[in-house]
Amino acid sequence: MLMSFHVRSEEAQVAPSEGLNELLDMSLQELLEVIVTVGTRGAGRTTLDTLAPVDLISTEELRVTGQAELGKALQEIAPSFNFNNTTISDGSDIIRPATLRGLGPDQTLVLINGKRRHQQALVHVQETVGKGSAGYDINAIPLSSIDRIEILRDGAAAQYGSDAIAGVINIILKKQTEKTLVQAERGQTYAGDGANATISLNSGIGNEHLWLNMTLEQRDRGEVNRAGVADLTSTQGVFIGNWLTPDGNPVQRLRIGEAQSDNRYLWVNSGGQLTPRLSFYILGGISDREGKSYGFFRGPDSERTIPALYPEGFLPELLTRVEDESITAGLQGDINGNWVFDTSLSWGQSEFNFFSNNSANVSWYYEPNGQGSIIAQTPTSANDGALKYLQGAANVDLSGDLVVQWLPEPLFVAVGVELRKDAYRITRGDPWSYLYGRSDNPRLNITNIDNGGSAPPGIQGFPGFTPETEVDESRHSKAVYADLETSLSDSTMMAAAVRWEDYEFAGDNVTGKLSFRQEFATDFALRATLSTGFRAPGVQQIYYAQVQTTLVDGDLRETGTFNNTSDVAAHFGIPALQEETSRQASIGFVMQHIDDFFLTVDIYQIDIDDRIVLSDPIVGFSDEVERILDANQLGAAQFFTNAIDTRTRGLDVVGTYRSELGGGTLKLQAAVGLVETQVRALNSSSAIVPSSRLFNAAQIERIEKGQPRERATLSASLVKDNWKSSVVMHYFGDVSGSAFTGISQTWSGRWLTDISFDYVVSDKVTISMGANNLFNITPSHWGEAGKPLSEAGFTFGWETLPFGISGGYYYLRLKSSF
């Protein structure tokens, strides 16, 4: 949430030879004059005169966090941004949910250089923050490619379209052409795991007529495991079979913590001048990431274990590969010196591939061979299938000034049209990844004759996508918008926006926004906005379907997630998804004292109706529900539904102070975010599933208390000669959860401290070192409320741990430019 006092435009950047001291010696006033491009389609404004709060985060601020990935770096800087840690949560361990202002991952819009980015293919369907959503894969963009980030903390659906209910994150890519920057980093946790090795190269060539900036990055992150010993005293060692050793001793059975991942990136930002009045731009990137995470241990005597293959039990492995590509090309032109146009074409896709390893299809192994015995064969690995999301967009924008006689200043007008196509595909896995025996005959009784019990279908850990869940569908949408901005006097500005959107399957919607800014003195101004919002259900939510092995009421069950066009949804009385709508208001002030102090305070309220969520797993609580589940070989079923109305209220405070100290420059910064979300209404449209079964208290608690209601960042940095030292303190407030156990648990707030030191060795070389979470702070223990999971190894909890369980981390970085 740090403002533009650290951000420089390309023209304002100092040459590397000027060193760190010169880099940070600009006055606060100069830094505050950097132009903001998000929230307006005009020539841009500075953070002093924006009509809504905007955070500006520079590449230097991202680097100083010591984090190697974008999501973690943003969480450290911007208290309004949350990047929740997950573990044993399938694909969410690789693409973690990223949220803004306590809302959902898909209620924030992400732009690259002002152009809409495509969403991720993965749907968060486990018990994590953002369950039921498919937001944006924020870590598909390498840190080394970013010049700055603009975060608009205000509803902007009327300006940018669906998704922008919570705000907008606009990522500006580097465009420098004068040097090559190479960075290498090595770090690990205090415990010795979670090793990170990153090497990146950013280089530019060209001039004002034709230029190219390219980024290459390789980052490998080691696994973090904080699982405790599985003593399971309350269950005598039994949890999905016997977890104790053969001689009855407790032992660690799980792998709990950050997943291993290997990441490769190639990103490009380019442009040029075709004529004095016509220019072009091309930007985009490719990221390829491989991950490894784990499921639950299956004991040697469980019906889910084959003793001949795994005499001591086994821990299923989930291997994932995420491939992300995008490209945007456009033309910008000056029509008559007053009006300009911008037309562009964008394409992007996210593909998420699932693979199981160290596993088995128990029904495949124990299937009768027709000769009085069993087949006794099963693969131990499988391709479980893939998810793919694709987006294509075409935009034509026109903007310029109109002279209106009764206005003292020209009226800025921007109008535009957007056409978009969103597509979603689910590809089936290998047959043994999902079948119940080779014949898939539900009337065939396949029994685990070694351990007893019915043999479950599919590969253990992550059953594959089936032919029934395969989809290849698309949706078209179109939008028309108009933005108006003007100054009513030297001290008064106003803006208005209106947007009409029409989505297949969701219908059309009109949203609007009014913004106002009144300057009462040269150092104090009031700003306010009123807006309505709209979010169409994502194609992922419309079409996603799968059968998974999940923990329901303490037991592993095959849980089917069914889309709203399925026969199963019809049997349960679940209708087609509708759009979400919102109403939002904010008011705040900006105060500046000469060039050494800057303060903003903003309060807001966001009401969202018909919010889309993923229901609870519906189990056989009635004869009718039991019949539907049995007919589909399920232990539970869940659906996407417009089940809740919510109200979110918040307060954001951002300030900075700068002074000279001991021949150096001292900067003090503070950012505080307070946010509270309440579920105001709960509605079930099903005649056989009541509201309390559709979305229970544990799910409501995650919406209301699963993300910190209080966040703060306090920092101090001192620059003197060739040294820069920084101390940053982060506060994560209380979070609560009761999924898996049904018992509400609150994890108390924690302060984390980071330190870093930079030393400019020469004009071309800088060495950095530091420690994140210096004092090795971890969440409070789960304890009695978490039984039996807390006894199985989940020492710190599971679903709502905003800063994770990895503990302290230290690193060393070398940066060289030439």
pLDDT band at 635 (very low <50, low <70, confident <90, very high): confident
8 A C-beta contact, residue 399 and residue 368: no
pLDDT band at 46 (very low <50, low <70, confident <90, very high): low
**pLDDT tens sequence across 315-330:** 999 999 999 999 999 9
User: Average pLDDT of 706-724?
Assistant: 95
Answer whether residue 229 shows pLDDT above 90. yes
**The pair of three-digit structure tokens given for residue 401, joined into one six-digit string:** 């000034």
Dihedral, 146, 151, 156, 160 alpha carbons, nearest 10? 0
Answer whether residue 555 shows pLDDT above 90. no
In the chain, the amino acid numbered 152 is L
Q: Number of folded domains in the chain?
A: 1
Domain with 631 in it: 4-817
| HSE-up of residue 287 (Cα within 13 Å, Cβ side) | 27
Share of the chain above pLDDT 70, in %: 93
In the chain, the amino acid numbered 780 is S
Answer whether residue 377 shows pLDDT above 90. yes
Could you give the CA distance from residue 491 to residue 49 in angstroms, rounded to a whole number?
A: 10
pLDDT band at 336 (very low <50, low <70, confident <90, very high): confident
Instruction: Specify the pLDDT at position 6.
Output: 29
Residues with Cβ within 8 Å of 612's Cβ and at least 6 positions away in sequence, in order, are 132, 133, 535, 537, 541, 577, 580, 640, 641, 642, 643
Bridge partners (DSSP) listed for residue 45? 36
Phi/psi for 364 (5° steps) reads: -65, -40
User: Average pLDDT of 658-668?
Assistant: 90
Instruction: Specify the pLDDT at position 10.
Output: 33
Could you give the CA distance from residue 653 to residue 665 in angstroms, rounded to a whole number?
A: 23
Cα angle 227-229-231, degrees, rounded to a multiple of 5: 135
Instruction: Specify the pLDDT at position 41.
Output: 61
Instruction: Specify the pLDDT at position 15.
Output: 33
pLDDT band at 501 (very low <50, low <70, confident <90, very high): very high
Instruction: Specify the pLDDT at position 13.
Output: 33
Can you tell me whether residue 393 is helix, strand or coil?
strand
Q: Which CATH number is 52's domain given?
A: 2.40.170.20
**pLDDT tens sequence across 252-281:** 999 999 999 999 999 999 999 999 999 999
Can you tell me whether residue 147 is helix, strand or coil?
strand
Beta-sheet pairing, 210-221 with 723-732: unpaired
Answer whether residue 40 shows pLDDT above 70. no
Share of the chain above pLDDT 90, in %: 77
Q: What is the largest CA-CA distance in the chain?
A: 95
Ramachandran area for residue 545 (φ above 0: left; ψ -120 to 50: alpha; else beta): beta
Could you give the CA distance from residue 739 to residue 553 in angstroms, rounded to a whole number?
A: 9
Could you give the CA distance from residue 731 to residue 734 in angstroms, rounded to a whole number?
A: 10
User: Average pLDDT of 50-63?
Assistant: 90
**pLDDT tens sequence across 87-133:** 999 999 999 999 999 999 999 999 999 999 999 999 999 999 999 99
**pLDDT tens sequence across 509-544:** 999 999 999 999 888 999 999 999 999 999 999 999
Whole-Å CA distances, 752 to 100, 595, 732, 805: 20, 30, 8, 12
Instruction: Specify the pLDDT at position 546.
Output: 86
Please report the sign of the dihedral spanned by the C-alpha atoms of residue 533, residue 534, residue 538, residue 541: positive
Cα angle 194-711-30, degrees, rounded to a multiple of 5: 95
Could you give the CA distance from residue 271 to residue 267 in angstroms, rounded to a whole number?
A: 14
* Entry pTM: 0.93
Which of 421, 266, 269, 426 has its CA nearest to residue 347?
Answer: 421
